[in-house]
Amino acid sequence: MTWNELTPEEKHVIENKGTERPFTGEYDNFYKPGIYVCRRCDNPLYSSKTKFDAGCGWPAFDDHFVESVKEIPDPDGSRTEIECAKCGGHFGHIFVGEMLTDKNTRHCVNSLSIKFVPETTS
């Protein structure tokens, strides 16, 4: 499988399960129409319609495209990691039960793990 070239910072997050500092990512306070794809393999992940301001310092989404994201419980059971269902790249974690949206789910995603593709108008 051919993947996109990554910067050292992107590799740290995507391949080594790192985390970018809160409130520093390019998509934390970004709300344009379009979709977000995996930065490593371009797998479509999230619609901008599911993005919301959780105030947590990272982009937050309350839904994802079907079969685009894989959920993996952390070994200690305290959190659930989310990664790309296509390439296995690390995105962040999913949290349920915070009552921030009607769906009661928050995908807390590192900006370095995703790319924005703007909505095209015909």
Our answer to whether residue 108 is catalytic in this structure is yes
Distance separating alpha carbons of residues 15 and 47, to the nearest angstrom: 23
Could you give the C-alpha distances from 98 to 25, 36, 55, 78, 107, in angstroms and in order? 22, 23, 12, 15, 11
Candidate list 41, 56, 84, 108, residue with the active-site label? 108
Strand intervals (E) in the chain: 34-38, 44-47, 51-52, 60-61, 69-73, 80-84, 90-96, 105-109, 114-118
* pLDDT for res 122: 62
Chain segment 41-94, per-residue pLDDT in tens: 999 999 999 999 999 999 999 999 999 999 999 888 889 999 999 999 999 999
Please indicate, yes or no, whether the overall pTM of this predicted structure exceeds 0.85: yes
